[in-house]
Amino acid sequence: MTSETRFNTSTRNALSFVMCAALWLSAGYVVSAQSGSKSGRSLTDAQERNSKVKGSMKLPTVMTRVATTRTSPFEPPEDTDHSFSTDDAPKLDTGCIFRSSGPIVFNIEIKRFIGRLRSDGTLADADKLIASGALSRTAKLIMPGFDVDSGATAQGVQPERDRVSVNGEAVGFLQGQNNRWILNSFEVDIRKIKFAERGTDGSEPTGGVNEIRIDIDTANSDEAWCTSVDWGSAGFRALSPILLIHGNNSDDEFYVRQKFTDELDERSLAYDNKVFGDSKDNPTTNFISVNANILAKNIPKLVRSFGAKTVHLVAHSKGGLDARAYLASPALQNNKDFKVISLSTLSTPHDGSVLADLSIEREAAAEQVGTIGRIEYEGFPAFTRQLTALAQRFVGIDNGRRNLTTGSVADFNGRNLQRLGGSSATFNTVAADMDLNENGQVDREPDEFLEIRKEGALSDNFITTRIVDTLYQILRTTRNINVTYRDQCIPLTNLCRQIATLTSVDNPTLLGNDTLVTIPSALGALSMQSRTRNTFTFDGVNGRNHSDVANRGVAQRVLPWLFSTDREKGGLR
């Protein structure tokens, strides 16, 4: 015998000793419970109790209460945002109790906001939520019951019938065996479950309190049977809430005006469009980094107010870059409270916009040539010169747009894409072309830019159409812009002025666009495309402009992506 086999043998002996001891211990419980059985008939728990009083029987309480409230061999599921348990209550872990010490009553608090509540705390729109697949039809109530003699055959006595009710409605009877802990499970109509009120100002939701009641031994007039419950847990499936992030120079009501929220309301989904907290009177424009910090401050509060652990983001235009910066931020990666499981961008310039390039290049050129100089345009649409001059004079260049040049976004992508790999989010993109009748220009008939006029409070006239079409044509044709300078002097004098020439370097193919973002940029051809799970381009008769790319039809296209991701890593799993 080698020393190794000797070692193994002694280890095995030691193990078998431990196991025998364990078996002996657990057998001890069973023996105490079955000792009353004679001629194939059970004694009732009451008969056993009476025998115990005479000194010959043991009361079938199994385990003594230790530091925890674990009296059964079953652990409750860990609490999530769609599973809640109660382990500790005056009527739990009691040892076997009879009807006269009952009923067993305890509460399960559901700390999750799903939607509007009725006055009794149940969901007002449960049917809509179930129909849209955002909520399970039932909640599963599970609990370990002890010594449920539901199959007992004691003489002249009905078997143990312990009726379980949730919020006053019976859902069934406990099932079990003499002196054993058995895990019971009940499917409870979700419409009977009380859910949480949404928390205010970033606080957690106020939980819906569900009363679980077990009426002991309901089938006999004289009490015959006892039972005990260790814990109860209620679980369901629910779609994670959706946060809507607006774009540059916009406000929180954008998704309402464009009717993206109509689809969410129709399905009664939980969402919040006040992520930045901007009113219509105070639209914001910020650098990406500034907005990422605002998101890092506001999103955790919003998620907490839903009682959710997972959340979906939908972002329009530059909001998608703000969201990407946030997803790549250390602030979020250190967050253990929740996960962003999807980001769906609507016409986000993932590769920048050449219109921003044009604004910035024109601004730089104007500074360079001064007031006596001149700016010329080569290869741009006819109206470009007037348009850029007007834009400079009346709109200026806001901070947001400075971050949207192709160069600026390329730098951003260089920093962002790798860090984005640490995010748990699934990425989806929506791109759009606004040319509904596919004639290569922006038209008033059919009206291809009604929503843009409304968003920008633009008048409806020939000039407006011309401006929007010029933007469309620039994006359609220009890949990037070359700037050259030359001096122009009056002959035989020293009087010179500088002339800047902005030249369009054309795209190899004409690009569909929505007036601000091209299809390839919205898809992230140079950046996000390889990381994107779902994508859709609205074009032709289904075309969209930069505003109605957030309309109801788009919501209908995007929502199935969120449901699919949620079944994988959200509250629908």
Q: β-pairing, 478-489 with 228-229?
A: unpaired
Angle between the 406-420 and 318-327 helix axes, to the nearest 10 degrees?
30
- Of the residues 113, 173, 195, 231, which one makes contact with Ca ion according to CB under 5 A: 231
514 forms part of the interface with Ca ion (CB under 5 A): no
Q: Contact at 8 Å (CB) between 224 and 46?
A: yes
158 forms part of the interface with Ca ion (CB under 5 A): no
Considering beta carbons, is residue 279 or 437 the nearer one to Ca ion? 437
**Residue at shortest CB range from Ca ion:** 69
Alpha carbon distance 495, 323 (integer Å): 52
CB of 443 to Ca ion, least distance (A): 4
Considering beta carbons, is residue 192 or 453 the nearer one to Ca ion? 453
- Of the residues 149, 357, 361, 566, which one makes contact with Ca ion according to CB under 5 A: 149
CB of 183 to Ca ion, least distance (A): 13
Buried b (16+ CB within 10 A) or exposed e, 89-120: bebbbbbbbbbeebebebebbbbbbbbebeee
Q: Contact at 8 Å (CB) between 97 and 227?
A: yes
State whether residue 97 is helix, strand or coil: strand
539 forms part of the interface with Ca ion (CB under 5 A): no
Amino acid at 74: F
443 forms part of the interface with Ca ion (CB under 5 A): yes
- Of the residues 87, 162, 451, 548, which one makes contact with Ca ion according to CB under 5 A: 87
Alpha carbon distance 42, 150 (integer Å): 12
Which region among 226-234, 295-303, 406-414, 456-464 touches Ca ion (by CB under 5 A)? 226-234
69 forms part of the interface with Ca ion (CB under 5 A): yes
Which region among 64-72, 314-322, 370-378, 542-550 touches Ca ion (by CB under 5 A)? 64-72
Amino acid at 166: V
CB of 309 to Ca ion, least distance (A): 24
Alpha carbon distance 513, 277 (integer Å): 29
Token pair listed for 317: 């235009």
- Binding string to Ca ion for residues 31 to 60, with x set by CB under 5 A, is what? --------------x---------------
Alpha carbon distance 240, 272 (integer Å): 12
Q: Which of residues 175-214 bind Ca ion (CB under 5 A)?
A: 178
435 forms part of the interface with Ca ion (CB under 5 A): yes
CB of 160 to Ca ion, least distance (A): 5
437 forms part of the interface with Ca ion (CB under 5 A): yes
153 forms part of the interface with Ca ion (CB under 5 A): no
Token pair listed for 404: 């949207």
Mention every residue, 6+ apart, whose C-beta is less than 8 A from residue 471: 355, 387, 515, 516
Which region among 143-151, 182-190, 531-539, 561-569 touches Ca ion (by CB under 5 A)? 143-151
322 forms part of the interface with Ca ion (CB under 5 A): no
Which region among 8-16, 63-71, 112-120, 162-170 touches Ca ion (by CB under 5 A)? 63-71
Token pair listed for 483: 């700037």
- Of the residues 230, 263, 361, 433, which one makes contact with Ca ion according to CB under 5 A: 230
455 forms part of the interface with Ca ion (CB under 5 A): no
State whether residue 309 is helix, strand or coil: coil
Alpha carbon distance 1, 395 (integer Å): 92
93 forms part of the interface with Ca ion (CB under 5 A): yes
Q: β-pairing, 138-146 with 232-235?
A: antiparallel
Considering beta carbons, is residue 180 or 198 the nearer one to Ca ion? 180
Binding residues for Ca ion, per CB under 5 A?
A: 45, 69, 87, 92-93, 147, 149, 160, 178, 225-227, 230-231, 435, 437, 439, 443
